[in-house]
Chain A
């Protein structure tokens, strides 16, 4: 069974600060996705990282896939109130893993205080 642990579980910071959230596993994934979910809505895909060591930027958000493809991080620079939400990572299993389904992380609930 593949598990994804996210940390921290909750994070509340002031507008303008920087932050990093983590997504860790002992399992290898063929890709890692990051989603943001706002209250009462479904998660929305932000980015997919595929190659070990890959870094992708989405405006003030920087996503990195670990070299061994077991972990990922999301760094937000100069956080804005609009960044508030639940951040979920999801891992895609390697080919021929057997139980092929996305594994979702435990989530990080981020609150940006104006």
Chain B
């Protein structure tokens, strides 16, 4: 069974640009959650999608958005990038919304310069 796949693994962007990150969950999993991880703030919840609907949202500005497709693949978008957006972005898939074990991808390391 293939694991969670995140692309790209590494990304360098300049301030003001926008970026789209992709996550393919484990086959059969309908829930995808996104997290931002920085050394100072730990693992911060961004949002969760289940069956193409956003079920939960963390405390991030509107520049952070996401969506989920009918095949459960998910994308997150960050517009007008700021230096502080530099982080490891992780997605996790699970079978149910907010329940069960979360399986993480390797993450996308975003650096904003």
- Taking Cβ atoms with an 8 Å cutoff, the residues of A that contact B are 33, 35, 40-45, 48, 88, 90, 92-93, 99-102, 104, 106-107
Verify B33–A101 contact, CB threshold 8 A.
yes
What are the residues of chain B within 8 A of A93 when measuring CB–CB? 98
Q: Which of B35, B88, B99, B103 contacts A45 (CB 8 A)?
A: B103
Q: List 8 A-B contacts (CB under 8 A).
A: A40-B107, A42-B92, A42-B107, A99-B56, A99-B98, A100-B99, A101-B45, A101-B55
How far in angstroms is the closest Cβ of chain B from A89? 11
How many Å from the CB of A33 to the closest CB on chain B? 6
* A42 touching B105, Cβ below 8 Å: yes
Given contacts A100-B97, A104-B45, 13 further A-B contacts (CB under 8 A): A33-B101, A40-B107, A43-B90, A45-B101, A45-B102, A48-B101, A90-B102, A99-B56, A101-B55, A101-B98, A104-B42, A106-B42, A107-B42
> Is B106 located at the chain interface by the 8 A CB criterion?
yes
Residues of chain A within 8 A of B99, CB atoms compared: 92, 100
* Main DSSP-derived SS at the B contact region: strand
Our pick among A35, A45, A100, A107 for the contact of B98 (Cβ within 8 Å) is A100
Q: How large is the interface on B (under 10, 10 to 19, 20 to 34, 35 or more residues)?
A: 20 to 34
Seen from chain B, the residues whose Cβ lies within 8 Å of a Cβ on chain A are: 4, 6, 33, 35, 42-43, 45, 48, 55-56, 88, 90, 92, 97-107, 109
Question: Are B106 and A41 interface neighbours, CB within 8 A?
Answer: yes
A102 touches B98 (CB 8 A): yes
In the bound complex, CA of A40 to CA of B108 (Å): 9
A90 to B90 CA separation, bound complex (whole angstroms): 15
Cβ-defined partner of A88 (8 Å) among B33, B43, B100, B107: B43
Known: A88-B43, A92-B99. A101 touches B48 (CB 8 A): yes
Q: Is the CB of A101 within 8 A of B104?
A: no
